[in-house]
Amino acid sequence: MTEAGPLAGTVVIEVAGLAPVPFACMMLADMGADVIRVDRPAGAALPAAPDESPLGRGRRSIVIDLKQPAGVGVLLRLTAGADVLVEGFRPGVAERLGFGPEDCLGGNGRLVYARLTGWGQDGPLARTAGHDIDYIAMAGALAPIGAAGGPPVPPLNLVADFGGGGMLCVAGVLAALLERERSGRGQVVDAAMVDGSALLTAFLHGLRAAGEWRDERGANLLDGGAPFYTTYLTADGGYMAVGALEPGFYADLLARLGLDGGELPAQYDRAAWPALRARLAAAFATRTRAEWAEVFDGTDACVAPVLSPAEAAGHPHNLARGVFTEVAGAPQPAPAPRFSRSAAGPPAAAPPRGAHTDQVLAGLGMSPAEISGLRERGAVG
């Protein structure tokens, strides 16, 4: 739990979930919010325990059995004094358990109740299961990704889970908190990964409307089709990423590669792109990744080495800027964005499940006898 940051003093109740929910709450905790994670009892824990992941950092943890009325009662007492609740159940589940929006807002009219799901709270697919790959498939975000003539390639689970889900949820929560300052009232935020994934393709839709994008993979400016916006194999089996879109940057690229632009096809002559790609590939194949990284270091050619996640933490720029930090002896991405006046401290390691149960319950005004009674009934742990 951090003690500073722009969200210092903001209390967030996180009903533990997978991927997008903990990511969203990680960002809120990184900004200084007091995030209380409601974990499930032993035996009902999620398959990927959040205390083993950077996504669980900066929290306090309380174990509550939300299948017990007494456990739900504890959660409602928590939300009565909170600013935000984030849950990722399918539509109707929270209502059935007794902590839906009406239940929580009835006890705290200023609460921002954030619902983070794949398909959203309504629509034909709302109650069906899915994963990142399904949401980006339906949003039109998967089809453009992949090599020409090959199948679509999932971009890990970055687009729906984290960009279109977690970050969209954070944006909604922050907007609702800002609006609450004017209205004095909370509201429900419906953050759907399919919505967010579609939103991330806004630029692509603009290109299509302008006739500058073909609905085929590997044939466009930004999908690897252009020989000056792709990756190239180096002599040692590494890769260099090239993004020299503008003429000036492209000229710098050719000069650093030792190529004469006058002997090459025009940069934007699509018919000649295969030939141009072959020339660039042959040039990159003559040196190692490290050698090319040195050649292009500090230039405007828009060329960078393709680093593994492990290598990224050690790159000089990332080191100088502190893009990564170390938590509990392991490198993790550092909190972002950065704030000039209200920066939060370094993130704390993720807590074990239930590490703060007694502390949180005592903060609600419960006596030791009440807490013991809840433990004996298995309502908390």
Q: Is 356 a catalytic residue?
A: no
27, containing H or E segment: helix 20-30
Which of 30, 83, 134, 161 is labelled catalytic? Answer: 161
Helix extents (H) in the chain: 20-30, 69-80, 93-97, 101-107, 132-139, 168-183, 193-199, 202-209, 247-257, 273-284, 289-296, 309-312, 316-321, 357-363, 368-376
- Smallest CA-to-CA distance from 245 within 225, 271, 274, 218 is with 225
């899915």: which residue's tokens? 130
Euclidean distance between CA atoms 135 and 374, whole angstroms:
39
Euclidean distance between CA atoms 321 and 342, whole angstroms:
18
Which one-letter DSSP state was computed for residue 372? H
Tokens in use for 195? 């919505």
Which one-letter DSSP state was computed for residue 165? I
Instruction: Name beta bridge partners: 327.
Output: 330
Tokens in use for 316? 């000089």
Tokens in use for 259? 């190529």
Euclidean distance between CA atoms 292 and 171, whole angstroms:
39
Which of 103, 131, 190, 358 is labelled catalytic? Answer: 131
Q: Is 315 a catalytic residue?
A: no
CB under 8 A, 24+ apart: contacts of 40-49:
40/16, 40/65, 40/66, 40/353, 41/65, 41/378, 41/381, 42/353, 42/381, 45/353, 46/16, 46/17, 46/18, 47/18, 48/18, 49/353
Kindly list the catalytic residues: 131, 161
